[in-house]
Amino acid sequence: MKTQAQLKQEVAQAAFDYVRGRVGDKAVLGIGTGSTANCFIDLLAGIKAQIDATVASSEASAERLRSHGIPVLDLNAVDGVDIYIDGADEANAALELVKGGGGALTREKIVAAVAREFVCIADESKLVARLGAFPLPVEVIPMARSHVGRELLKLGADPVYRQGVLTDNGNIIIDAHGLQVLDARTLEERINNITGVVCNGLFARRPADLLLLAGQGGVRTLRAG
């Protein structure tokens, strides 16, 4: 029986092979955040001479990339992102995701929005029939904490302030527990419309294009649609 750590390593290797086969010189890679993305970053170190540029979805990933000698650019310094590789907390068959367990959801959503192709990498425990068992992370301007909490209550969530966490953007995270995610796209827009919300961890308006999913039998490829 493979452990979850082994599955993460396996799916990172599959993403590495996929990326190597698709990008030519001058490609800009978007790099996600979390333990699965970290496995991918460590593999990239082996081909750093061939990497023109990366853009990172968090300070932690940027630091890890730089520690390997891999160039990291500001998103505003590149014309586009060819492929974005990142993990997820949950994914459904439509490749809609819940992200932000590591608190990097806003930058992740920005890089995903710019990327021509978004490849999500995960172990099979992340594939769910319906999103929402994982508490939905919501990034919030600090002074709006109570207001946003009350609005999330109205949506049927149990909002929990993530104590002691400040995002790379200087904001707080509220985790919305117990949400019924029947229509992920509508809910994503509704939560984003609460004043004081910077962004929420539903990736439905911009889902992944490809999901690489590692299980006991190997790595499966799921496409949207």
- Please identify which residue in 12, 16, 65, 86 interacts with ligand 5RP, judged by CB under 6 A: 86
Give yes or no: 108 in active site.
yes
Question: Shortest distance, CB of residue 28 to ligand 5RP, whole angstroms?
Answer: 20
Question: Shortest distance, CB of residue 193 to ligand 5RP, whole angstroms?
Answer: 22
Query: Is 204 among the residues that bind ligand 5RP (CB under 6 A)?
Result: no
**Residues 115, 205: Cα–Cα separation, whole Å:** 14
Segments in 69-213 forming alpha helices (H) = 105-114, 145-154, 184-192
**Residues 36, 33: Cα–Cα separation, whole Å:** 8
Binding mask 102-141 for ligand 5RP (x = CB under 6 A): xxxx--x---------------------------------
Helices 59-67 and 35-44, axial angle in degrees (round to 10):
30
Identity of the residue, 50 or 59, whose beta carbon is nearer to ligand 5RP in the bound complex: 59
Question: Shortest distance, CB of residue 163 to ligand 5RP, whole angstroms?
Answer: 17
Q: Which residues lie across from 220 on neighbouring strands? A: 213
Which listed residue (10, 90, 96, 108) is catalytic? 108
SS3 126: helix
Q: What is the DSSP letter of 21?
A: H
Question: Per CB under 6 A, which region of 32-40, 69-77, 158-166, 205-213 contacts ligand 5RP?
Answer: 32-40
Question: Per CB under 6 A, which region of 11-19, 66-74, 86-94, 145-153 contacts ligand 5RP?
Answer: 86-94
SS3 73: coil
Identity of the residue, 63 or 153, whose beta carbon is nearer to ligand 5RP in the bound complex: 63
* 56 neighbors 62 (Cβ within 8 angstroms): yes
**Residues 61, 98: Cα–Cα separation, whole Å:** 19
Query: Which residues are catalytic, by number?
Result: 108
